[in-house]
Structure 1
Amino acid sequence: MKYYYILVILFCFSCGKEKSIQLPEISKSNIHDIKDVSPAYLFYDESEKDSIELNRKNLISTTNWLVNVDKRLTLKQAIPSIIKLQEKKRDAKMHKNEAAKNYFTCNDKSVKNLGFIEFTDVIYHNGIDKSIVEHHSIYDLTSTSELSHTISLLFKENDSISINSELTTKAHFLERLRFMDSVQNKMMGLIYLKFNENLTFQDYITFKSMLLELKLKHSVIANDEYIFN
């Protein structure tokens, strides 16, 4: 199935049910064409801002899933439904396709068409795991004798970001991560992403797409993501 056809599906669904979805926007995606897909929709209700509606009637477990989330929803609203979708696919016992993946549908401004961000292996957690011990500094990495270290990247409200408890900005956090990676030598770093539950899905997708730009040699972004209040 081509992405053009998906645009038609979204339009017809919106017209037929008098519902619409404002997809999150990204500057650039590396994924534009996905075949053999099933769509799911998470709607935002302007009249009842605390409500959310999940439509998953057309999901087929053996296909790639395109999850269309309204960008105005908060993570507190959207993530529980996304977890349910993940569990539905992971728990499928019959007609399971291990090669099938999950994607968020986005508006790719670079091509003025749809783009996709994969989240197949992401595991969402409520709260922050206190067993994750951060390295004490984002700069003093060469003095440690450890073979590995942990980086916690917290995305808060109003574009406030911290790396291992040290504040940075949306404009500079990628630069700092690249610097940390460059001075690590043989040490391996594991980066945990933690998002405030009041961030919108647009905020979440923006940060995720920015992180996809990173080309790190010594660090890996963990599949575990934490949603905190």
Structure 2
Amino acid sequence: MLKKIGFIGLITLFLWSCGNEKVIQLPEVQHAKITEILDVSPAYIFYNETQPDSIELNRKNLIISTNWLFNVDKRLTLEQAIPKIKFLQDKKRNAKMHKNEAAKNYYTCNDTSIKNLGFIDFTDVNYVEEINSENNYIITINSLNDIAIHHNDVKLSEVDIDNLIIQLEKNFNKNEENTVLTLHLNKQLKFQDYITVKNRLQNLNFETIVIDNNEYIF
């Protein structure tokens, strides 16, 4: 059985299976909204340079009725990680026996602000490998320093992650009706940067902004 032998709160999880040590580097965040989850089972998506696609999945300990913790190595790109994540999402969504509708999916992170684990809920996220230009507001993310805001196919601005948050707080939170923001994510985006974006957006207290559950990978 695969066991965690590292210490909670460290960036790196050390695991061993059949006498072979494996290492997974968790994404880092600050001030995660969720810091405790009960009734869990883990999946591990490793960065493995010895594999042709540099990725390895271990899901032996997953129990359908529990909350699932996705421990994804921060060095992976979305192109590498998303197919494995979608595979596990489909496995849980399509389960016939022992299904628990209240059980959720979370990404595990290292919350540096509390020196412990934090978690990001992505239960309702659907990863779509195409581009959708029909939504009014689209946030295109190539990296944390290369983000574009589009409205009706017109580019409004090019920003980094900090200025994206500022613009959302300043310009979008004053709308009288809900504004739906759709994420377009470059497939070469590192998982660390993706989790940074997810955490920053989830920490915003918006009354009139909704993040689309469909996230488009291009």
Q: Same fold (TM over 0.5)?
A: yes
Q: Which runs of 5+ in 2 are unaligned?
A: none
Per the TM alignment, residue 172 of structure 1 is displaced from its structure 2 partner at its CA by: 0.6
Deviates more, 1:21-30 or 1:39-48: 39-48
| TM-score calculated relative to the size of structure 1 | 0.83
* Structure-2 residue corresponding to 1:77: 80
Q: C-alpha separation between the residues in 1 aligned to 2:209 and 2:145? A: 23
2:67 maps to a residue whose letter is N
Match of 2:138 among 152, 158, 163: 152
Per the TM alignment, residue 183 of structure 1 is displaced from its structure 2 partner at its CA by: 3.4
Match of 1:167 among 149, 158, 169: 158
Report sequence identity in percent.
52
Deviations 1:193-228 (A, max 9, x none): 111000110010011111112111211111111111
* Structure-2 residue corresponding to 1:180: 171
Per the TM alignment, residue 179 of structure 1 is displaced from its structure 2 partner at its CA by: 1.9
Q: Is the 8 A contact 1:181 1:217 kept in 2?
A: no
* Structure-2 residue corresponding to 1:94: 97
Per the TM alignment, residue 85 of structure 1 is displaced from its structure 2 partner at its CA by: 0.5
* Structure-1 residue corresponding to 2:58: 55
Q: Is the 8 A contact 1:14 1:20 kept in 2?
A: no
Q: Is the 8 A contact 2:14 2:21 kept in 1?
A: no
The number of aligned residues is 206
Deviates more, 1:13-22 or 1:26-35: 13-22
| Greater strand fraction, Structure 1 or Structure 2 | 2
| Greater helix fraction, Structure 1 or Structure 2 | 1
Q: C-alpha separation between the residues in 2 aligned to 1:213 and 1:12? A: 31
Query: Compared with structure 1, are the counterparts of its residues 12 and 18 closer, same or farther at alpha carbon in structure 2 (3 Å cutoff)?
Result: closer
Cα RMSD, aligned residues only: 2.1
Aligned residue runs from structure 1 range 1-229, under 5 A: 7=7, 10-13=13-16, 16-48=19-51, 50-130=53-133, 132-134=134-136, 151-157=137-143, 159-164=145-150, 165=155, 166-184=157-175, 186-228=176-218
Per the TM alignment, residue 113 of structure 1 is displaced from its structure 2 partner at its CA by: 1.1
1:24 maps to a residue whose letter is P
Q: C-alpha separation between the residues in 1 aligned to 2:20 and 2:75? A: 19
Per the TM alignment, residue 182 of structure 1 is displaced from its structure 2 partner at its CA by: 3.5
| TM-score calculated relative to the size of structure 2 | 0.87
2:181 maps to a residue whose letter is I
Per the TM alignment, residue 30 of structure 1 is displaced from its structure 2 partner at its CA by: 2.0
| Structure ID, larger Rg | 1
